[in-house]
Chain A
Amino acid sequence: MIRIAIFGFGAVGKGVAKILMDRERMNRLIGNYSVVAVADSKGSIVSSSVNLKEALKIKEKNGRLPDGMNVIEIIEEVDFDVALELTPTNIDTGEPGLTHIKKCLKKGANVITSNKGPLVVAYKELSKLAERSGVKLLFEATVGGAMPVIKLIKRDIAGNRIRSIKGILNGTCNYILSRMEKERLSYRMILAEAKELGIVEANESYDVEGIDSAAKLVILANSLMDMDVSLKDVEIEGITEITPEAFEIALEKGYTIRLISEVSEDVLRVSPRLIPLNNPLCVHGTLNAILIKADLAGEIFVIGRGAGSLETASAVISDLAELYSC
């Protein structure tokens, strides 16, 4: 019996809960399991088998879970095999996720997270800690949402040396740029449109100035290319200076413009780039995409949805399968 604790019950946490309610799907994937704790910022439900349908209903109705233990108390007092750490990202401190993950690893529980913060701040420390404790820290959902990236590179093309990774890792920027390309409207107007659609983070600079992309790039560099870099090592340029004329001229010459995150031996940078219209990275809307160059496999291209409740939950579930696949 796999005992699962869920920390964070927002878009991703609820998405995961919905998939875990599908017993038939999940039993086939990982065998017997039960959720032993669910927590949000205000409360929690702890039981030998949490009724997820009920938990979702309560959260929906009251906007919060009932009073109960907080995450720290749950880690200290409840037995579980794997924690799903799905709390908000803070790329400066990593908290609250950083403390949650450390405590779980120390006590010998596996951790699956969608939270970039702890990995950006302390990847090396956390991976060493996991190794020492003989447990796993998996984080497929932190980069590219539903798109397979981490396990694809670590497992499916294992043995390759990764020469470079170039990708579109922020759906909001890609939406803005591909709309500017099509409509030839100003950056400001398209940004307003994206806000109306609710696809821009509350702190918009996080998206449009390339910080979110840079955070994901740091995770890729450290976990897949054996680097030891932090956010301040990334050369970052956002999309706020791009003009509609830029698209006009670029298109005339057979290019468009996209925000590209690139890592290779001597490059670590997020910047708008000219992309030939026939290049696969020329994707539209909120899609993410990634072009991997590996020494044996050559080029590999992945495209998919970089965000969304079930999409991100899909990546979390794939990590559960990685740990417990039967």
Chain B
Amino acid sequence: MAVVTLVVELKDKPGQLAKVIEPVSKYRGNIISIVHKREKRTPTGSIPVEISIEIDEKSIGKLVENIRSQGVVVKSYNEVRLTSTTSVMLIGHIIHTDLATTIDAVDRTGFAEVVEMHISMPYLEKPSTAMMTISATGEKKLKVALDRLKEVCMKKKITVIEPLELEE
């Protein structure tokens, strides 16, 4: 048995915690503590929740997978913590320029990933607008990931609107 700490981001509405607790009991884990970090509310309005679980090491991967499949954002577990998060806006032909490779510019770094994306497409031929949330293992890494994203977007003529501060 091992103790792992998961940080998940839950929407601020009823029934969200169940999406985490049910998989934990399914994989025979014991919940040791649950801390809602309301003061660290994310730019998208979610609340980071830190959950410590006692569980068989071999089940950790499956547990995380299962929680993610419920649509819950798992920001970190164990050592690989994604501690820095930011939101950026993209404007342009986001879909028609192969969205997957745009996202991959961040994910491929290995230290950052696109954890959420919200796209608005007003008309088929018009540029679309997206808000992308990126998490990384630290602020410096987050900056590198953002630079990679900017490079790709420049080639695709997508405008990137960065936040005023990397971390609010």
The verdict on B30 contacting chain A, using a C-beta distance below 8 Å, is no
Q: Are B161's CB and A245's CB within 8 A?
A: no
9-residue interface stretch from B32-40, B77-85, B86-94: B86-94
- Does A276 contact B168, Cβ atoms closer than 8 Å? yes
Contacts of A69 in B (CB 8 A): none
Is A245 within 8 A of B122, CB to CB?
Answer: yes
The reply on A257 being an interface residue by CB < 8 A is yes
Contact present for A257 and B131 (CB under 8 Å): no
**B164 and A245 form a contact (CB under 8 A):** no
B43, A271: Cβ atoms closer than 8 Å: no
- The A contact surface, by secondary structure, is mixed
B89 and A274 form a contact (CB under 8 A): yes
What are the residues of chain A within 8 A of B128 when measuring CB–CB? 245
- Give chain A residues whose Cβ lies under 8 Å from the Cβ of B44: 253
Instruction: Check B164 against A242 for contact (C-beta < 8 Å).
Output: no
Interface size class of A (residues with CB under 8 A): 20 to 34
Taking A245-B122, A249-B131 as contacts, is the C-beta distance between A255 and B162 under 8 angstroms? no
Q: Assuming A245-B120, A255-B43, is B163 touching A273 (CB within 8 A)?
A: yes
| Interface residues as binary, A237-279 with B (CB distance below 8 Å gives 1, 0 otherwise) | 1000111011011101111010010000000000111111001
> A273 → chain B, closest Cβ, in Å?
5
CB distance from B142 to the nearest CB of A (A): 14
Contact, CB under 8 Å: B164 / A243: no
Cα separation A68 to B132 with both chains bound (whole Å) = 62
By the criterion CB–CB under 8 Å, are B120 and A274 in contact? no
A274-B162 in contact given A249-B120, A249-B129 (Cβ < 8 Å): yes
A299 to chain B, nearest CB (A): 12
The reply to whether the CB of A281 lies closer than 8 angstroms to some CB of chain B is yes
Counting residue pairs across A and B whose Cβ atoms lie within 8 Å, the total is 70
Q: Verify B89–A249 contact, CB threshold 8 A.
A: yes
Who on chain A is nearest to B88 by CB? Answer: A274
A243 to B131, CA, bound (A): 13
B89 to chain A, nearest CB (A): 6
Report whether B122 and A241 are in contact in the complex, using a CB–CB cutoff of 8 Å: no
Tell me whether A216 is interfacial, beta carbon within 8 Å.
no
Contacts A242-B91, A243-B129, A249-B129 hold; do A274 and B45 have CB atoms under 8 A apart? no
Give the CA-CA distance A272 to B92 in the complex, in Å: 14
Contacting residue for B164 out of A237, A248, A252, A260, CB 8 A: A260
Q: Name the residue on B nearest A281 (C-beta).
A: B164
Residue from B91, B163, B164, B168 within 8 A of A241 (CB atoms): B91
Asked if A246 and B164 make an inter-chain contact with CB atoms under 8 angstroms apart, the answer reads no
Q: Which residue of A lies closest to B42 (CB)?
A: A253
A241 touching B89 in the complex, CB below 8 Å, given contacts A246-B129, A273-B161, A273-B164: no
Complex interface residues of chain B between 119 and 168 (CB less than 8 A to chain A): 120, 122, 126-131, 159, 161-164, 168
Are A248 and B120 closer than 8 Å at their CB atoms? yes
Indicate if the CB atoms of A257 and B43 lie closer than 8 Å.
no
> Would you give the shortest CB distance from A303 to chain B, in whole angstroms?
16
* Distance A241 CA – B91 CA, assembled complex (angstroms): 7
Task: Using A250-B89, A276-B168 as known contacts, say yes or no to A245 and B129 having CB atoms under 8 A apart.
Answer: yes
A253 touches B43 (CB 8 A): yes
A14 at interface by CB-CB < 8 Å: no
Residues of B within 8 A of A237 (CB): 159
User: How far is B126's CA from A245's CA once the two chains are assembled, in angstroms?
Assistant: 11
User: In whole angstroms, what is the CA distance A148 to B87 when docked?
Assistant: 32
A residues within 8 A CB of B87?
Answer: 253, 255, 274
Report Cα–Cα, A276/B168, bound state, in Å.
8
Q: Mark B41-69, 1 if CB is under 8 A from A, else 0.
A: 00111000000000000000000000000
Give the interface of A toward B (CB within 8 A).
166, 237, 241-243, 245-246, 248-250, 252-255, 257, 260, 271-276, 279, 281
- Closest 7 pairs (CB-CB, A-B): A245-B129, A274-B163, A241-B159, A245-B120, A246-B129, A273-B164, A249-B131
